[in-house]
Structure 1
Amino acid sequence: MTQDGPQAELLRRAAEALARRDPQSALGLLDQADRLGVTHNGTLNRALALRLIGDFNGALVVLDDALAMQPYDFTALLGKAAMLEKIGQGVAAVDVYRNALKIAPPRERCPPPVAAQMDHADGVVRRHAEALRDHMRNAVAGLRDTLDPAALDRFDEGLEIYAGLKTAPKQEPLLLDYPRLPAIPFYDRALFPWLEQLEAATPVIQAELEALLASSMDEFAPYIAYPKGAPVNQWGELNHSRKWSSLWLWRDGARQEAVCERCPRTAALLESLPMCRQEGFAPTAVFSALQPHTHIPAHTGSSNVRLLTHLPLILPGPARFRVGNTVRDWKMGEAWVFDDTIEHEAWNDADQMRVILIFDIWNPWLTDGEKTLITAMMKAQRSFTAAG
Structure 2
Amino acid sequence: MASNAPQTPSDFPSEAEAESRLTADRFDIIALIAKADRRRENTDNRAASAYYNAAIRTAAARPPADPDVVAQVARADAATRWLADHFRCHLLDALTDRGFTRDHQHPRFRESLDMMFGDMQRPDEYRQFPQKPMAHYYPGMTHIEFADTRALDWVTRLETRFPEMQREALAILASHDGFQPYIKAASSRPQQDHHGLLENADWSTLHLWQNGAAVDEHIRRCPIIYQTIIDYVPLCHIGPRAPSIMLSLLKPGAKIPPHTGMLNSRLICHLPLIVPPDCGFRVGTTTIKWEEGKVIAFDDSVEHEAWNNSAFDRLVLIFDIWRPELTQTERDQITAMFNVVDNYR
TM-score range, shorter chain: 0.5 to 0.7
Q: Secondary structure of 1:312's partner?
A: strand
**Does the CA-based 8 Å contact 1:275-1:359 persist in structure 2?**
yes
> Are positions 1:253 and 2:203 aligned together?
no
Q: Secondary structure of 1:245's partner?
A: strand
* 2: CA distance, partners of 1:231 / 1:348: 27
> Are positions 1:244 and 2:186 aligned together?
no
Q: Name the structure 2 match of 1:349.
A: 309
Give the residue type in structure 2 aligned to 1:198: L
- Trace 1:27-176 onto structure 2 (pairs within 5 A): 167-176=127-136
Q: Name the structure 2 match of 1:324.
A: 284
Q: Name the structure 2 match of 1:267.
A: 226
Q: Name the structure 2 match of 1:180.
A: 140
> Are positions 1:362 and 2:322 aligned together?
yes
> Are positions 1:194 and 2:138 aligned together?
no
Q: Name the structure 1 match of 2:272.
A: 312
* 2: CA distance, partners of 1:209 / 1:320: 20
* 2: CA distance, partners of 1:332 / 1:281: 27
| Displacement of 1:220 | 0.3
> Are positions 1:338 and 2:338 aligned together?
no
**Does the CA-based 8 Å contact 1:169-1:185 persist in structure 2?**
no
Give the residue type in structure 2 aligned to 1:247: L
| Displacement of 1:326 | 0.7
| Displacement of 1:231 | 4.6
Identity %: 39
Q: Determine which of 167, 173, 179 is the counterpart of 1:207.
A: 167
| Displacement of 1:353 | 0.8
Q: Secondary structure of 1:357's partner?
A: strand
**Structure (1 or 2) with the larger CA radius of gyration:** 1
Q: Secondary structure of 2:238's partner?
A: coil
**Per-residue deviation, residues 256-291 of structure 1 (Å, max 9, x unmatched):** 111112211111111111111122222111000001
Q: Secondary structure of 2:341's partner?
A: helix
| Displacement of 1:309 | 0.4
Question: What's the Cα RMSD here?
Answer: 1.8
* Higher normalized contact order (CA 8 Å, seq sep 6+, divided by chain length): 2
**Per-residue deviation, residues 335-375 of structure 1 (Å, max 9, x unmatched):** 11000010000011111110100000111110112111110
Moved over 4 A (4+): none
* 2: CA distance, partners of 1:251 / 1:352: 27
**Per-residue deviation, residues 10-46 of structure 1 (Å, max 9, x unmatched):** xxxxxxxxxxxxxxxxxxxxxxxxxxxxxxxxxxxxx
* 2: CA distance, partners of 1:227 / 1:257: 23
Q: Name the structure 2 match of 1:283.
A: 243
* 1: CA distance, partners of 2:278 / 2:302: 23
Unaligned runs of 5+ in 2: 1-125
Q: TM-score, normalised by structure 2?
A: 0.60
Q: Name the structure 2 match of 1:375.
A: 335
Which is helix-richer, 1 or 2? 1
* 2: CA distance, partners of 1:378 / 1:315: 35
* 1: CA distance, partners of 2:303 / 2:268: 13
* 2: CA distance, partners of 1:319 / 1:167: 27
* 2: CA distance, partners of 1:214 / 1:291: 13
**Does the CA-based 8 Å contact 1:254-1:283 persist in structure 2?**
no
Aligned residues between the structures: 218
* 2: CA distance, partners of 1:226 / 1:212: 25
Q: TM-score, normalised by structure 1?
A: 0.54
Q: Name the structure 2 match of 1:303.
A: 263
* 1: CA distance, partners of 2:195 / 2:257: 10
